[in-house]
Structure formats: structure tokens, C-alpha cells
Amino acid sequence: MDIGRRRVVIVLFEGVDLLDVTGPPEVFSLARRESGEAAGYDVVLAAETTDPVTTGAGVRVLPDITFRQAAAEAIDTLLVPGAVEVDGERRVHALVDPVLVDRVRVLAGRARRTASVCVGAHLLAAAGLLDGRRATTHWSTAPQLAAEHPAVRVDPDPIFIRDGTVWTGAGISACLDLTLALVADDLGEALALRVARQLVMYVKRPSGQSQFSVPLEQVSTTRRIEELRHHILRHLDRPLTVADLAAHAHVSDRHLTRLFQAELGMTPHTYVESVRVEKARHQLESSDATLERIASGCGFGSTDTLVRAFRRRLNTTPTEYRSRFRAASPG
């Protein structure tokens, strides 16, 4: 069924993050292919002029139209990526050009919906488009966004957030998750999942999922903690209480807690639960195991405990997670 053409305008400017510009068009292109042309997305890159723009990666990109031309017609989806600078102490700071902010404000007024990619949220906030809204951005600039725009309810954890007609995404690879969510909103979850598989994405992640994968994100510097992490992964089906872990490491319970706080920024209990949720997620995505079997194998003890951990960590239930993100069975 022909649902008409959807005009997508991506904002382009000097120093913009390359992946945040090129990732979304790939998703829209695959949506068109997977839907048999029913998804009529017309994607254009708009800039101040049509001269080549040099991205933050040093790659030059040629705009299709100017901002003035983009604003001359109705826009279905406005995508606003961002740019950062890194200071001498390797601190990341989102860049906000006042002229660009004015352009974004005008274009958003012509759009059915507006979405920021990564630190593009700073441009939306400066344009007043996030006031009173819940929004996310890349975790590295979330404190800056909250400090500079107190009227915005900044949540640095989710990979994307929808608040009315305004969407914000965490950026980097999450630009694909955000665009998939836009496609799902337009054409349904089934098509979005087919696109995700074509992109060889491990799973189409829910908006409530954290930007981080806990077992991979934490970096420990001591051999004792690193060995404990491996021990936890190998024995998730065991109780793994603080006393158990302390005995394995030959330290006191209190000293173990201090080590985890210093090395990983969390208590042993929180870390163990995070690892268990990660393992349960993978099993829900890739197997037909019952919730009882998954709960037992991951050390939750009961399905009730598994459900509570999922709600706490991912803002969903294991059953909901599996129904939306289970990989297709062979054949």
C-alpha cells in the first residue's frame, strides 16, 4: 500500500559527527527495500550552503539543499545531529552555534516530528524545543545539557526517548536504534525488526535500555577484581553473596565492598545483578528456554526475582522483552 512520501531532512554543518549523518539514511533505505517501496522516505541533507561540509571525521559531504530551501516545504522528520570538541584533559564538550540553532528552530516549525541524534540534543535544547520535556543525549555530555538547560529533564541512561513529537537519541550506534524506532512508529515493529536484521544488529533495543552493557563497560585495574568478575561470570547459577565473593577473594565483606565501589563504582550485589540481567537478555533473545529455566540458570532463584530485576534495569519485563526482540528461529 502506498502511504505517500515522507520527507526527511538531516541537518548538516561543519564538524558534524559523520555516523550520525550517514547511519539514519541507511535505515530509511532498507525500510524502503524491505517494505517493497511502501516506505516512501525521501532523505535530503540540508546545510547553510550547498558547498561541501567537512565532518568531524574529516570526510567531506555534499549537501543536497540549503536550509532556506528545506524550510520552503513541509518536513515529515527533521534529524539534528551534533558535534563535539575535546579539551586538553580529554573532556568532551558539545558545540552549539547560535546561527545553527536559529536554523534548527525554523526547520522544526515546519516538521511533523523532530529528532536529535547524539549531542544534537544540545541544539534542540538551545532552540527551546526540549523545555519541559524528558530527553537524552550521549552520556559524556549529559551533565553539560542538564547544567545549561535546567528546564530540560535530562535522563542520560536510555538509548533514545520520545516525548510527544520530539525524539532524542544517545548517538553513535544508537542512531540506528533511534531511526529504527521512527520506522516502527511509521510502519510497524515487524518491518523495523526486518530492517534490524538486514543491518546485522544483534537486537533492536527498546528505548528504556541503558546506553551501557554492564559486564563490558566496567574496567578494573586490579587482578583481584578482574579474577572475581570472571568467577562471577562462570558461576552465575550460584548464590554469589557478598560473603561468598569475599571468601573467594580472601578478604573481609567490608573490604570487598570497598574494592567494588573503588574499581567498578557499584556494590557487589548491584554488579552481580547487572551481569545476571545481561545473561538473561541474551538467552531471551536467542533461545526458547522458559523463564523458570532462565531464572534458575542466571541465579535469580525465581521468575519473580527475574521480573523485578528486568523492571529495575530495563524498564520492561522478560516476557515483553522476548516478544519484541526475540531473534527469528531458523527456517
pLDDT band at residue 203 under the 50/70/90 scheme: very low
pLDDT in tens, 128-175: 999 999 999 998 899 999 999 999 999 887 888 999 999 999 877 788
pLDDT at 146 (0 to 100): 95
Sign of torsion, CA 275 276 281 286?
positive
> Could you tell me if 191 and 35 are in contact, meaning their C-beta atoms sit under 8 angstroms apart?
yes
DSSP 239-298: ---HHHHHHHHTS-HHHHHHHHHHHHSS-HHHHHHHHHHHHHHHHHHH----HHHHHHHT
pLDDT at 329 (0 to 100): 39
pLDDT at 210 (0 to 100): 52
pLDDT at 137 (0 to 100): 94
**Coarse DSSP helix, strand, coil percentages of the chain, rounded to the nearest 5 percent:** 50, 15, 35
DSSP 102-156: HHHHHHHHTEEEEEE-GGGHHHHHHTTSSTTSEE---GGGHHHHHHH-TTSEE--
Q: How far is CA 148 from the centre of its chain?
A: 22
pLDDT at 221 (0 to 100): 53
> Could you tell me if 277 and 310 are in contact, meaning their C-beta atoms sit under 8 angstroms apart?
yes
Decide: residue 298, CB within 10 A, 0-12 exposed, 13-18 middle, 19+ buried: buried
Cα→Cα distances 64→9, 27, 51, 320, Å: 10, 19, 9, 41
Q: How far apart are CA 236 and CA 231, in angstroms?
A: 9
Sign of torsion, CA 178 160 211 61?
positive
What mean pLDDT is predicted for residues 294-308? Answer: 94
Contacts of 192 (CB under 8 A, 6+ apart): 31, 180, 181, 183, 184, 204
Domains in the chain, CATH or no CATH each: 5-198 (3.40.50.880), 214-325 (1.10.10.60)
Q: Average model confidence (pLDDT) for the chain?
A: 87
